[in-house]
Amino acid sequence: MHVGSVLTGHDTPVNAPEASAPVLRRAWTAVAAFAAVRALGVLVLAVWPRANGAGAHELLSARWDSLWYVRVAESGYDFTLTAPDGRVLSDQAFFPLLPWLERAVGAVSPLGPGDAGLLVSGVAGPLAAWGMYLIGHHLHGHRAGLLLVALWAAVPVGIVQSMAYSEALFVALAAWALYAVARRRWIEAGLLASLAGLTRPVGLAVAAALWAGAAVEARRTRHIGTRMLAGVVLAPLGAAGFILWVGLRRGGPLAYLEVQAEWGNGFDGGLAYAKFIVAHLGGWPVVLAGLGLIVGTALALWAYGVCVRQRQPLPLLVYTGIVVALALCSSGYFGSKPRLLLPAFPLLLPVALALSRVRAARAASVVAALALGSAVYGATWLSGSGPP
């Protein structure tokens, strides 16, 4: 089996050692590292003191967006909620794959939708780690792939990966779709991209990555095969199908944008986000939050610049660029910005590569410190006013 230049950056096809049995077995070290970091996060959350009386199980399965997914799983769409400020919030803002899976799991088990959502995330997280490892291994070897997974599990908002949210499911689909692009498995990549598009609006970033990979391959080979064409066509169908369905239900082709606008979400090039940051630079202690936002945003942009300078393959750059742009340039609940950046895992590749070149003990200590910090931050975050 051969892997083309789509996700290697080279013009000459190379053998695919990552598809071999030894490498697939080594991927379990990355899955185990992911599980260990996430178990630490859940354990710290379980013992963290809370004034509101909510237990770890409730925080992970039955709050904020999780409740919206549960309502869709139980009753379908068309639920609305009038916010205190008069906005009418519709459940049509939430894409359907996670509630569909919650309903399916509930149909074959005694689990309720919330617990089914936890199970979906519990399965999707390791699958995301596995696909992510294969991408990292393919580009930079075993240690880089392992560290990429560990770093992603240990990001400050990593606790979201253990919640009944759609992030773990989406990243699993995105990572495997990107890996399928690397292997020139166009139909598989298209199906996974379509499912990602049924999970979150940013699923279109996965479709765009596939299109970029197909363009690179078509230019290299001067040929567009039927399987490639099928993958290109399949990729956007999930997101487009749901958006069109909302349009039909609400009587307008742009109705989904109206639904998002009712939630206060829109794409304004980052103007609202910039105003939010400036508003947090005027006094103590909110200035700390403002400075933190500036540092976090600068780090994300710097990391993407490093990815470009290191010549990450075009599909990864396209995918990551769209995820970062949608996260930073949209208006909405600004506390969700870190969570919206969670799918941009290729931003961590330069850090993983740098750590892979130092002594194993030093790299392990860095990851351990990050994992502990993530666990404490996640417990503090979920035990506060939220939502993430």
C-beta contacts of 56-59 below 8 A and 24+ residues apart = 59/163, 59/382, 59/383
Beta bridge partners of 266: 331
Residues 6+ apart with CB under 8 A from 261: none
- With respect to residue 200, please indicate whether it lies within any of the assigned structural domains: no
* DSSP-assigned letters across all residues of 231-260: HHHHTTHHHHHHHHHHHHHHTSTTHHHHHH
Selection from 4, 39, 21 nearest residue 215 by Cα: 4
Beta bridge partners of 331: 266
Who wins on pLDDT, 290 or 157?
157
Query: What pLDDT, on a 0 to 100 scale, did the predictor assign at position 3?
Result: 38
- 184 pLDDT higher than 80: yes
Query: What pLDDT, on a 0 to 100 scale, did the predictor assign at position 376?
Result: 95
- With respect to residue 250, please indicate whether it lies within any of the assigned structural domains: no
Residue-averaged pLDDT of the chain: 91
* DSSP-assigned letters across all residues of 86-148: S-EEEGGGS-SHHHHHHHHHHHHSS--HHHHHHHHHHHHHHHHHHHHHHHHHHHH-HHHHHHH
- With respect to residue 240, please indicate whether it lies within any of the assigned structural domains: no
pLDDT per residue as tens digits for the range 295-340? 999 999 999 999 999 999 999 999 999 999 999 999 877 778 899 9
pLDDT per residue as tens digits for the range 339-355? 999 999 999 999 999 99
Tell me the residue type at 137. H
pLDDT per residue as tens digits for the range 94-143? 999 999 999 999 999 999 999 999 999 999 999 999 999 999 999 999 99
User: Can you tell me the distance from the alpha carbon of 29 to that of 179, in angstroms, rounded to the nearest whole number?
Assistant: 18
Cis peptide before 49 (omega within 30 of 0): no
Query: What pLDDT, on a 0 to 100 scale, did the predictor assign at position 359?
Result: 97
pLDDT per residue as tens digits for the range 356-382? 999 999 999 999 999 999 999 999 988
Percent of the chain with pLDDT over 70: 93
- With respect to residue 201, please indicate whether it lies within any of the assigned structural domains: no
Query: What pLDDT, on a 0 to 100 scale, did the predictor assign at position 163?
Result: 97
Query: What pLDDT, on a 0 to 100 scale, did the predictor assign at position 21?
Result: 63
- 40 pLDDT higher than 50: yes
- 384 pLDDT higher than 90: no
Whether 347 and 324 have beta carbons less than 8 Å apart is answered as yes
Query: What pLDDT, on a 0 to 100 scale, did the predictor assign at position 77?
Result: 97
Domain that holds residue 171: 2-179+267-382
pLDDT per residue as tens digits for the range 56-93? 999 999 989 999 999 999 999 999 999 888 889 999 99
- With respect to residue 101, please indicate whether it lies within any of the assigned structural domains: yes
Angle at 107 between CA 66 and CA 256, to 5 degrees: 45
Whole-structure pTM value: 0.94
Residue 109's Cβ-count burial label (10 Å; 0-12, 13-18, 19+) is exposed
- With respect to residue 245, please indicate whether it lies within any of the assigned structural domains: no
Residues 6+ apart with CB under 8 A from 194: 207, 234, 235, 236, 237, 238, 239
Query: What pLDDT, on a 0 to 100 scale, did the predictor assign at position 63?
Result: 86
In total, how many domains does the chain have? 1
Query: What pLDDT, on a 0 to 100 scale, did the predictor assign at position 6?
Result: 60
- With respect to residue 252, please indicate whether it lies within any of the assigned structural domains: no
Mean pLDDT in residue range 26-30: 93
Residue 21's Cβ-count burial label (10 Å; 0-12, 13-18, 19+) is exposed
Helix-strand-coil percent breakdown of the chain, rounded to 5? Answer: 70, 5, 25
pLDDT per residue as tens digits for the range 4-20? 446 554 433 333 444 56
Query: What pLDDT, on a 0 to 100 scale, did the predictor assign at position 335?
Result: 75
Whether 319 and 174 have beta carbons less than 8 Å apart is answered as yes
- With respect to residue 251, please indicate whether it lies within any of the assigned structural domains: no
Selection from 15, 64, 56 nearest residue 38 by Cα: 56
